[in-house]
Every structure is written in structure tokens, then in C-alpha cells.
Amino acid sequence: SAVISQKPSRDICQRGTSLTIQCQVDSQVTMMFWYRQQPGQSLTLIATANQGSEATYESGFVIDKFPISRPNLTFSTLTVSNMSPEDSSIYLCSVEDRLSGTARTFYGYTFGSGTRLTVV
């Protein structure tokens, strides 16, 4: 299955600043996903990132606040802009883990280890 490297693993940031989170996959994937997990809560999808096109944002999330880049099939970044304490969360990237080729075995969705962000 795919292996995802996500960094930083954690950060403490001042309000009003921005943080860029990186996600690297060890294989080429069509879609990458960014999720947010607020303290004690479940995961919510922020956006879907396809290579070569603008990310698609879910209701309640906007590009100005969470700009996403997807320069190639193995890498994506999520920026949390103009941060406030309400942005303190764990941010996770995810990919669809599917074996290409004749088998097209679907393994599920693999997640990075997450970035624990605290805004002070």
C-alpha cells in the first residue's frame, strides 16, 4: 500500500501567521485529500487536490483560507492562512490506495500521520 510522509508533525504558531503542510507519497496518485480533525472531533474533508487543476473545496472551506498546491502526482501542500486559535487541529492528507493495472485492487484510503497545529 501507499506510504505517505507528512510534515511537519506538529507546530505551534502565532495567530495571524500561515503554515504550509507538505504531503509526499511514494507512488503516483490521481487524487489527494486534505482533512481536518478538530480537538476531540471526527475528521472533516477540506478539499480534494488533483494534479494540474484547482482543488475542489467542501462546503465551509475556501481557497483563500486553505490554499492547496498539487505540482505533481506524488506531492501536495496545504497552507493554513491567517491563523486563529480556532484553526488548532490535526490536519491529515490522504490518498486513494488503488493498484493500477489489470487487477485494480482497491486497498482503501491511506492517511498521513498528521500535523498537529496549535495556534496561540
Binding residues among 100-119 for another protein as defined by CB under 8 A: 106-114
Burial 110-119 (b: 16+ CB within 10 A, else e): bbbebbbbeb
Q: What is the DSSP letter of 24?
A: E
Tell me, residue by residue from 5 to 34, as one string, x for binding to another protein by CB under 8 A and - for no binding.
Answer: -x------------------------x-x-
Complex with another protein: residue 17 or 107, whichever CB lies closer: 107
Of 17, 18, 41, 82, which lies in the binding site for another protein, with binding defined by CB under 8 A? 41
Please answer whether residues 82 and 108 qualify as being in contact, where contact means their C-beta atoms are separated by less than 8 angstroms.
no
Query: How far apart, in Å, do the first and last CA atoms of the chain sit?
Result: 37
Q: How many whole angstroms separate alpha carbon 32 and alpha carbon 55? A: 9
Say whether residue 57 binds another protein (CB under 8 A).
no
Of 14, 42, 53, 102, which lies in the binding site for another protein, with binding defined by CB under 8 A? 42
Q: How many whole angstroms separate alpha carbon 16 and alpha carbon 82? A: 4
Find the part of the chain contacting another protein (CB under 8 A) among 12-20, 60-68, 70-78, 89-97: 89-97
Please give the residue ranges that form the binding site for another protein (CB under 8 A): 6, 31, 33, 35, 41-45, 48, 92, 94, 96, 106-114
